[in-house]
Every structure is written in structure tokens, then in C-alpha cells.
Amino acid sequence: MAGEQCIVVIIDDDPGDAELLRRQLDEIPTLNMDFVHYKDTSEALLELTQRDAYVIFLDYQLGKVTGSDVLGWIRGSGDLRPIIVLTGQGDESIAAELMRSGADDYLVKDDITPTGLRRAIANARAQFLRRRGEEHRRTLLDELEATKVSLEKKNRRLSELYKTAHEFVDNVSHEFRTPLTVIKEFASIVRDGLAGDVTDEQREYLDIVNNRVDDLSIMVDDMLDISKLEAGILGVCRRLCRVDEIVERVRTTLMQKASASKISLDIAVDDDLPAVFCDPEKIGRVMINLVVNSLKFSRESERVELWARQNPAESQIIIGVSDNGPGIAPENVRSIFERFKQVGGDVRSSTKGFGLGLNIAKELVHINFGDIKVESEVGKGSTFSFTVPTADPSAFILRYLDRIKQFQNSPVFASLLTARVDEGQPSFLIEDVGQFLQHEVRPNDLVFHVKPNAWLLVVASNDQDTEVVINRIQRALTETNRNRFDDGLPPIAMSTKGVWRIEGQNTEFVQRFKEECHIVEICNA
């Protein structure tokens, strides 16, 4: 401390004693001190908070009050600075009491030696620093605790809001469907002549009612889908399938919609397209959403075409919808797939939706590891197209690894697991097991049906421990079978083939995957 100016405060009602102490302190060579002496206790207490003090000497005998009282007041105000109490001869019995009240040290006035004085100051300073450190730590801990509590509270609030929002969407969907059911039923009762004769004209009008009820139901479905996509709980059931099979599934719906809009819809699917690996229901939804969008922007007697072509170089199929509608201005092309975006004023106001259709299409294409885009020219029309990976395992797994690396929390490990049931199970149970596995893995994990009674699972996660996944699936199996009275799912034997860190070319993982993955075709009715 040499050289540094330190202020020593002396509180003593006896000026002689104070002067004596000052002289003794002056004899300590290492300290460069300034002294402040308070004869009056209340003045000291008033000013002390505003002044620096390296150390405070406090006389025990202060007339009406004692050093203990003054200590109590100083410490009570939160002042942590070092205090040394000076007692008279024979007052040592009160030393313990003083230390309890917050004194750092005490000295007997008549026995003060330079060494003792120096030791007391050093000791008091050390106590002070320790106390200040503790105080600081306590403040930090308190702040931390407060932050933690507030974060937990916010977190709880967020998950409540989240839950409420989902329940809300769920309820809205339920509440919309009930009146829609009644409208649809009674319109069709009248239409089918169950309430008396109907003319052709009346029948046509009732068909329009029916059609619009269906549109509204689709919008309700859209809302649900968005909400599930957002929560990451939209189930994906990818399997080997054919594009024409998916098209056939949605053909009737599409034709009905086109004819209701008096627009001709051509469906042109190339022959000999290779099989694709995707969730056919979701890809069907994309086709519907894109066709519905094009119909919305086309005028009566115009044409809309749904087509599908090969893109062998990229191991994918391109599916597109082309129209001769008004087209999209270049500045709007970028935002067209955003939620609640409806660009252009040409849309007939009566056919406006929520602007969710294209956004859902994009999300559904992405969860099937494809891409979507639009090419458009104002005044000429638009072509929306998307890709679906073919069922070539080597190309598919490379595409998959590429995609998961781009995730926000990109997984660190890829594991290969097998699931197997006893041979000779009826085909409906095999199908159920496949669906069960698809449902139990997360949307970004893969399930391949590789043998009549076996599946290969690709699980990407931040955890090397595949037991977690296996245990989860086994628990879910028990749970599922509790609800299946007559035809429980057979036991599923699971094992881990290996766990690889996702990095670089992933050569080893890809090699092993190729050896294990020979997709079998599930027979489709």
C-alpha cells in the first residue's frame, strides 16, 4: 500500500487518545495516511457514508453510547468497511461481543504496539476484502437466481401460450367442422331429392354449396397442418411408391375442383417414371394445393396442367403445375411461398383463402427432402414445380445427410438401427408395424422397409446412445398394444448397427447404409 494515500477515520471522544493513535499510526512506514478525527459520534455517522475509509478506528467508550451501538448502526446501514475497536484496560471481556457485532479486530488502548497495530490493520483489511467478496458473490448469486426464476416463469408462460394456441387451433377446427357437416348434409339431402322434387337448376346450385363447404374444410385442414408443422409433430410416413399411384389418389378431387371452376385440367405423367421414396399422402396434398392455387388464378375455359417428368441426373422426379393465368411479378416471386402471402390483385375475391396453401406445399415438399420453385411471366402464366427423390438408396441418403446438415440444430450423430419381427406375420400386421415405427421416430428420421419382416432405421441426433431410441420404441409398443385387444403388434427385436459422427463425406456411414438398405415394395391395394 506504500505511496497510496489512505484515509484513516478515528472516532474517539477523547482528542488526546486520538492524537496518540495518530502518532502510533505514523510510525508504520508502509502506510501513507491521512487522518480524519470525529469527536462527535452522530457527526461521524452522518459523514461516514460519504467518505473513503481505509480503516476505521472506533473507541468503545463514547460517552452516552458504546462502540457496540455505533458498530451496530454502521453495519446495519450495509457498510462493510474494516473497523477496529479500541477498548480500555480490562474491557477484553466484551471483545467477543464486539466481534459478533461486526468488528474486525480490537486493540487495548494502553497495549498498542506498532506490530500489533499493523497486524490489526492487515487483519481488518483482509476481513473486509473477504466480506466484500462474499457480498459480491451473494449479489451475483441473487441476480442469477432472479434471472433463473424469471426465465423459468417466461418459459412456463411460453409453453402455456403454445399449448393454448394449439388447443385453440384444434378447437376452432372442431367447431368449424360441426356446422360444415350440417350444411353439407342438409344441402345434399335437398339435392338428392329426399325432401321433395328438385329441378336441375336447384341441383346445380346445391352442388355449388357442397363444393364451397369442401373448400372451407380444406382451409380448416390447412390451419391444422400449419400448426402441426410449426410444432414439429406432423407425422411423416415415407415409403416406396409411384407417382402415378399418388396422382390417381387425388385425380377425382382435382377433376371435381377444375370442373367446378370451368377450367380444363390436363394430367400428364410420363411413362416409366422410377419409383419415389416419399409420404404419398403429403405429396398428394402438394399436388392439390398447387392445382387449387392455379385454378384460383385462372379464368373460365383456360387450361391448367399437372405434369411429372424424370430428372435422372439428380435422382429425382419433377412434378409441376402450369397455368395460363396472370403470372406473378418478379418482385413478388420471392415471397410467394410465405405464409399469409397472397400476391396480385387478380385473384377473384370470392376464392381468396388464408394464403396458406403454397406455404404448406413448400413445407410438405421439404419434409420429403425435395425443393419447390416457381417460374412465372406476367401475362403469360406460371409454373410451380417441385422435386421428389427417387427410391435410389445411395442418392437418397446423400441428399438426406445434406439436408440435415442445414438444420438449425444440426444433429451430430447418425445411427443405423434394425427392427425385426418374426417371419410369417399377416401382411396387415407388417403394414401396421411399419406405420408404428414411422410414427415413433421423429419426422427427420428415416424408416426403410428392407425385408418382408425387417426395417432399417436412420436416426440422426445429438446423442450417441441409441438405447434411448430403442427404449422409447419398446415403451410405445407396450402402450400401443394395450389398446389393441384382438390383434396386438408382434414383438419387435431391435439392434444397433452402428453410430457415426456426421462430418465430411460420411463414407463409412454411407457404405454401411448401402449394404443394409434394399427397399422392398409394400404391396398396395
Question: Under the rule (CB under 8 A), what is the footprint of other proteins?
Answer: 170, 173-175, 177-178, 180-186, 188-189, 192, 194-195, 213-214, 217, 221, 224, 228, 233, 235, 480, 483-485
Find the shortest distance in angstroms from Cβ 489 to other proteins. 11
| CA distances, 74 to each of 70, 94, 102 (Å) | 6, 18, 9
Residue number, 379 or 424, with CB nearest to other proteins: 424
| CB neighbour class for 232 (10 Å; exposed up to 12, middle 13-18, buried from 19) | exposed
Q: What is the 3-state secondary structure (H, E, C) of 74-125?
A: HHHCCCCCCEEEEECCCCHHHHHHHHHHCCCEEEEHHHCCHHHHHHHHHHHH
Of 300, 322, 297, 298, whose CA–CA distance to 309 is shortest?
A: 322
Q: Does residue 118 contact residue 28 with C-beta atoms inside 8 Å?
A: yes
φ, ψ of residue 10 in degrees (nearest 5): -120, 120
Find the shortest distance in angstroms from Cβ 176 to other proteins. 8
Find the shortest distance in angstroms from Cβ 177 to other proteins. 3
For helices 243-260 and 280-297, give the axis angle rounded to 10 degrees: 30
Residue number, 127 or 188, with CB nearest to other proteins: 188
481 vs 72: CA distance, rounded Å = 71
Q: Which residue has the cell 415409403?
A: 239
Find the shortest distance in angstroms from Cβ 290 to other proteins. 23
Residue number, 242 or 285, with CB nearest to other proteins: 285
Alpha helix (H) residue ranges in 265-392 = 280-297, 330-333, 357-367
Find the shortest distance in angstroms from Cβ 214 to other proteins. 8
Residue number, 53 or 180, with CB nearest to other proteins: 180
Cell of 169: 387451433
Cell of 483: 389398446
Find the shortest distance in angstroms from Cβ 311 to other proteins. 34
Alpha helix (H) residue ranges in 261-389 = 280-297, 330-333, 357-367
* Residue 173: other Cβ atoms inside 10 A: 16
506 vs 272: CA distance, rounded Å = 32
Find the shortest distance in angstroms from Cβ 156 to other proteins. 23
Find the shortest distance in angstroms from Cβ 181 to other proteins. 4
Residue number, 115 or 178, with CB nearest to other proteins: 178
235 vs 482: CA distance, rounded Å = 22
Find the shortest distance in angstroms from Cβ 419 to other proteins. 20
Find the shortest distance in angstroms from Cβ 428 to other proteins. 13
Query: Which neighbouring-strand residues pair with 241?
Result: 276
List all residues 6 or more positions away from 202 whose beta carbon is below 8 Å from its beta carbon. 190, 191
Query: Which neighbouring-strand residues pair with 105?
Result: 84
Residue number, 271 or 428, with CB nearest to other proteins: 428
Which stretches does DSSP call E strand in 333-380?
372-377
Residue number, 123 or 173, with CB nearest to other proteins: 173
Residue number, 174 or 299, with CB nearest to other proteins: 174
Residue number, 123 or 188, with CB nearest to other proteins: 188
| CA distances, 47 to each of 14, 41, 56, 63 (Å) | 19, 10, 13, 19
Residue number, 189 or 329, with CB nearest to other proteins: 189
